[in-house]
């Protein structure tokens, strides 16, 4: 599903209560200087625009009917404030700080704004499956979505379901329709005075039998293994493929098992997966007809031992991204970025994973080097830049023809690249560079010393964080827009490097799509996109963070006093999309570790190497078809939480990125530097 986000016009103004500006200001405020909003409490609807101005009192010795510019601080994506026009984008209740600065003073005020949802324009009612019909004694499930005037889906709409003739068909509050007797009637859904109807036809279910067909599974069934069942209704010597089948799965409770254990398994359209080992019964039903099968599920048992092979401690700056590569000389190297390091990228010799040697660095004009990449052939590296003093933040190309002496080959300062370059992706021939979080530009890298911008892709309403390219498709991560997939040379959709063409988008339910990694699973014969959230707070959860941080960035540790150094806190998880049919993607699974948030990832040989911030580096078995929550299924192979007492933030894990390379896993911890670990496969008895 791809929902549209429509920028509201400035024509529709919300009514404001008149507020006396100067007369209502207390004398003390007049003496000290103050700004006063034209309204302190505003109620708006999504899409509304209201004029919000600020009067000044006793500023530079005088009072003025309006001051500016005044800066408003509100959550990203909730408002637009330009000039004096405040546009509401997201429902909620907000306390918005307003700030006015002069050379001599900083003045603040607070405006309370309540934003109501946009009105419901229509209700879309669709069956969850369109390949089945409704028969007497059978069930068919429907979905209804309330669409607002701004094109957004109202997820909290109170829907009322009914049928025109309950003697023909009945419906419950979840949209489950049951055939009662042959005939025709109407399904009705209502919300906030808006109605939708859908015709229903109920046919008589003929006498017949239900047949269960279980597809064979190779070896014992383990937690996380997906089983596929089919059930057919046979009547009059032929199979009726349009008869809806209801599936259920139950786990036989073990003796002495605790009451309230988590759900053991799930089943959807005949696909079953178990999170908990035990004995299971899968049941297929068509009206009064039922068939079942009982089977055993064993633990997945994939845990491997782990050992630390190397660590290059760093406590002088925050380490950001890493890229491990084989140089043109056959030796192995790692390139890392940094924060609070005056724009440095660092180079390590990691040929011996037990002895990680930092041998060089390159400084560029930047506040932050967030991302680094190296071309697959090891010919060149790339340094991203943000916060350059000249505002020219284009990527910096590094010549790696002599791996032990990396040199700057070029600064890409094309006019098409504006704002910071937060992330890049390098292929042998082309570089994809983000521009100001709005678009990515594609750069011809045939001449390292004269790189040339050849094209760009700018998705509507962009908020771009990352891009990854595989098989001629670019997968960009765009927060609320989800994953945006573009043909940049695959050709199936008519795209090329010079002419990128949109393939599809997939909006994730969390709206925090930060990174995406496409992967073809040979063991499942499916293409999956692994998308990761990044949410740098835990607001609204029972544990919101350490005292003093509440989910914000921690402060710098002071070794003289032993104070500060509050660890960061995050949340979010990996969402797994089946992208085998790019025009009909489907969310099928997740990897969700509670109380931590995800960052960068790498996938290789059916293993997910996940940087899970405070949750450490985590290696996950992703073999076979995926369904459900991989964390609950015992698919974790190894977990390592890096920390060091002399780190930037002492004794605090904060893994930024991980990458397997020649039998080892290298990863960067933003608090403690570059690490290498090795997994030790353990022998298991033949089952």
Tell me: the pLDDT tens digits for 179-218?
A: 999 999 999 999 999 999 999 999 999 999 999 988 778 8
> What pLDDT shows up at residue 24?
43
Which tokens is 582 given? 């790019």
Inform me whether the pLDDT recorded for 322 exceeds 50.
Answer: yes
The model's pLDDT over 25-80, given as tens digits with 9 standing for 90+, comes to: 444 444 468 899 999 999 999 989 999 999 998 877 678 888 878 999 998 789 99
Q: Give Cα separations from 315 to 323, 558, 587, 677 (angstroms).
A: 20, 11, 40, 20
| pLDDT-above-70 percentage for the chain | 90
The model's pLDDT over 555-612, given as tens digits with 9 standing for 90+, comes to: 555 666 554 567 888 999 999 999 999 999 999 999 999 999 999 999 999 999 999 9
Q: In terms of pLDDT, which residue wins out, 19 or 468?
A: 468
Which tokens is 254 given? 């073990």
Inform me whether the pLDDT recorded for 379 exceeds 80.
Answer: yes
**Alpha-carbon gap, residue 96 to 112, rounded angstroms:** 6
Inform me whether the pLDDT recorded for 549 exceeds 70.
Answer: no
Band of pLDDT at residue 390, cut at 50, 70 and 90: confident
**Alpha-carbon gap, residue 3 to 592, rounded angstroms:** 25
Give a three-class secondary structure readout of 561-612. CCECCCCCCCECCEEEEECCCCCCCEEEEEECCCCCCCCCEEEECCEEEEEC
Q: Among 252-256, 508-512, 536-540, 553-557, which range has the highest average pLDDT? A: 508-512
**Alpha-carbon gap, residue 246 to 268, rounded angstroms:** 9
Laid out side by side, the sheet with 183-191 consists of: 134-135, 194-203, 183-191, 160-163
Q: Comparing C-alpha atoms, which of 446, 442, 518 is closest to residue 477?
A: 518
Inform me whether the pLDDT recorded for 652 exceeds 80.
Answer: yes
Inform me whether the pLDDT recorded for 166 exceeds 60.
Answer: yes
What is the residue-averaged pLDDT of the chain? 90
Which tokens is 534 given? 């990044």
Inform me whether the pLDDT recorded for 132 exceeds 50.
Answer: yes
Band of pLDDT at residue 257, cut at 50, 70 and 90: low
Band of pLDDT at residue 649, cut at 50, 70 and 90: confident
Given a contact cutoff of 8 angstroms between Cβ atoms, the answer to whether 670 and 656 are in contact is yes
HSE-up of residue 113 (Cα within 13 Å, Cβ side): 34
Q: Which CATH class is domain 214-297?
A: mainly beta
Inform me whether the pLDDT recorded for 266 exceeds 90.
Answer: yes
> What pLDDT shows up at residue 560?
63
Give a three-class secondary structure readout of 290-325. EEEEEEEEECCCCCCEEEEEEEEECCCCEEEEEEEE
What pTM value is reported for the model?
Answer: 0.85
Query: Which helix (H) or strand (E) is 502 found in, with range?
Result: strand 501-506
Name 408's bridge partners: 398
Band of pLDDT at residue 147, cut at 50, 70 and 90: very high
Inform me whether the pLDDT recorded for 16 exceeds 70.
Answer: no
Count, residues in the chain: 687
Q: Which CATH class is domain 320-353+364-458?
A: mainly beta
Band of pLDDT at residue 3, cut at 50, 70 and 90: very low
**Alpha-carbon gap, residue 43 to 15, rounded angstroms:** 8
Q: Comparing C-alpha atoms, which of 220, 448, 449, 465 is closest to residue 321?
A: 465
List the chain domain ranges. Answer: 27-116, 120-203, 214-297, 320-353+364-458
Identify the residue whose tokens are 């101005």.
53
Identify the residue whose tokens are 């790692």.
334
**Alpha-carbon gap, residue 95 to 79, rounded angstroms:** 12
Query: Which helix (H) or strand (E) is 413 found in, with range?
Result: none
Backbone angles phi, psi at 53, to 5 degrees: -120, 170
Long-range contacts: 167-176, Cβ < 8 Å, 24+? 168/200, 168/202, 169/134, 169/200, 169/202, 171/142, 174/141, 175/141, 175/142, 175/143, 175/144, 176/139, 176/140, 176/141, 176/142
**Alpha-carbon gap, residue 621 to 114, rounded angstroms:** 46
Would you say domain 120-203 falls under CATH 3.40.190.10? no
Q: 214-297 and 320-353+364-458: same fold?
A: no
Q: In terms of pLDDT, which residue wins out, 223 or 19?
A: 223
Mention every residue, 6+ apart, whose C-beta is less than 8 A from residue 123.
144, 145, 146, 147, 159, 189, 190, 191, 194, 195, 196
The model's pLDDT over 427-464, given as tens digits with 9 standing for 90+, comes to: 999 999 999 899 999 999 999 999 999 999 999 988 89
> What pLDDT shows up at residue 616?
98
* pLDDT (average), residues 520-546: 92
Given a contact cutoff of 8 angstroms between Cβ atoms, the answer to whether 149 and 223 are in contact is no
Mention every residue, 6+ apart, whose C-beta is less than 8 A from residue 321.
336, 337, 370, 371, 372, 600, 656, 657, 668
The CATH number of the domain covering residues in 27-116: 2.60.40.10
Residue 104 gets which letter from DSSP? S
Q: In terms of pLDDT, which residue wins out, 564 or 483?
A: 483
**Diameter of the chain measured on Cα atoms:** 96
């Amino acid at each position: 599903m791809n929902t549209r986000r429509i920028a509201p016009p400035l024509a529709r103004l919300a009514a404001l209560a008149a507020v006396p500006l100067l007369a209502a200001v207390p004398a003390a405020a007049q003496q000290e200087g103050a700004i006063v909003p034209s309204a302190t409490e505003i109620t708006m609807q999504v899409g509304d625009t209201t004029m919000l101005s600020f009067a000044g009192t006793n500023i530079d010795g005088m009072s003025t009917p309006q001051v500016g510019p005044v800066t408003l601080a509100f959550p990203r994506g909730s408002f637009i404030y330009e000039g004096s026009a405040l546009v509401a984008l997201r429902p909620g209740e907000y306390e918005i700080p307003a700030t006015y600065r002069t050379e001599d003073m900083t003045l603040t005020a607070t405006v309370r704004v309540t934003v109501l949802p946009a009105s419901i324009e229509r209700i879309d009612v669709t069956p969850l499956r369109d390949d089945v019909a409704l028969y007497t004694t059978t069930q068919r499930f429907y979905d209804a979505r309330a669409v607002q005037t701004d094109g957004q889906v109202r997820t909290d709409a109170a829907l009322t379901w009914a049928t025109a003739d309950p003697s023909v068909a009945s419906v419950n509050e979840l949209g489950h329709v049951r055939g009662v007797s042959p005939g025709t009637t109407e399904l009705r859904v209502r919300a906030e005075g808006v109605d939708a109807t859908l015709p229903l036809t109920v046919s008589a279910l003929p006498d017949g039998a239900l047949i269960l067909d279980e597809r064979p599974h190779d070896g014992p069934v383990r937690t996380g293994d997906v089983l596929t069942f089919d059930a057919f209704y046979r009547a009059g010597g032929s199979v009726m493929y349009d008869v809806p089948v209801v599936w259920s799965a139950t786990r036989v409770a073990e003796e002495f098992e605790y009451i309230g254990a988590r759900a053991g398994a799930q089943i959807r359209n005949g696909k079953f997966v178990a999170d908990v080992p035990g004995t299971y019964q899968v049941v297929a039903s068509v009206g009064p007809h039922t068939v079942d099968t009982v089977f055993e599920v064993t633990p997945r048992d994939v845990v491997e031992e782990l050992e630390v092979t190397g660590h290059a401690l760093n406590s002088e700056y925050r380490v950001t991204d890493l890229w491990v590569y084989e140089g043109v000389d056959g030796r192995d190297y790692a390139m890392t970025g940094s924060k609070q390091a005056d724009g440095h990228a660092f180079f390590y010799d990691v040929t011996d994973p037990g002895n990680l040697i930092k041998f060089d660095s390159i400084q560029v004009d930047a506040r932050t080097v967030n991302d680094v990449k190296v071309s697959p052939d090891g010919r060149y590296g790339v340094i991203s830049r943000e916060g350059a003093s000249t505002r020219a933040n284009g990527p910096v190309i590094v010549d790696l023809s002599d791996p032990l002496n990396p040199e700057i080959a070029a600064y890409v300062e094309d006019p098409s690249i504006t704002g910071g370059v937060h992330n890049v992706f390098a292929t042998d021939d082309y570089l994809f560079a983000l521009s100001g979080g709005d678009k990515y530009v594609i750069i011809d890298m045939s001449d390292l010393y004269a790189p040339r911008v050849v094209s760009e892709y700018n998705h509507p309403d962009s908020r771009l964080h990352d891009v990854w390219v595989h098989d001629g498709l670019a997968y960009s991560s765009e927060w609320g827009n989800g994953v945006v997939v573009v043909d940049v040379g695959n050709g199936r959709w008519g795209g090329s490097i010079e002419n990128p063409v949109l393939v599809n988008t997939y909006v994730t339910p969390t709206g925090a799509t930060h990174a995406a990694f496409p992967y073809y699973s040979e063991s499942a014969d499916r293409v999956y996109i692994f998308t990761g959230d990044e949410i740098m707070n835990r607001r609204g959860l029972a544990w919101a963070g350490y005292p003093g941080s509440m989910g914000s960035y921690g402060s710098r540790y002071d070794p003289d006093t032993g104070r500060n150094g509050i660890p960061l806190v995050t949340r979010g998880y990996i969402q797994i999309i089946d992208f085998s049919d790019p025009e009909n993607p489907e969310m099928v699974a997740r990897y969700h570790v509670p109380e931590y948030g995800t960052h960068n990832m790498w996938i290789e040989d059916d293993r997910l190497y996940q940087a899970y911030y405070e949750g450490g580096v985590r290696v996950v078995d992703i073999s076979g078809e995926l369904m459900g929550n991989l964390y609950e299924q015992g698919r974790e192979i190894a977990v390592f939480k890096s920390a060091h007492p002399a780190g930037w933030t002492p004794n605090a894990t904060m893994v930024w990125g991980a990458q397997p390379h020649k039998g080892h896993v290298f990863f960067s911890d933003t608090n403690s530097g570059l690490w290498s670990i090795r997994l030790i496969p353990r022998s298991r008895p033949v089952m």
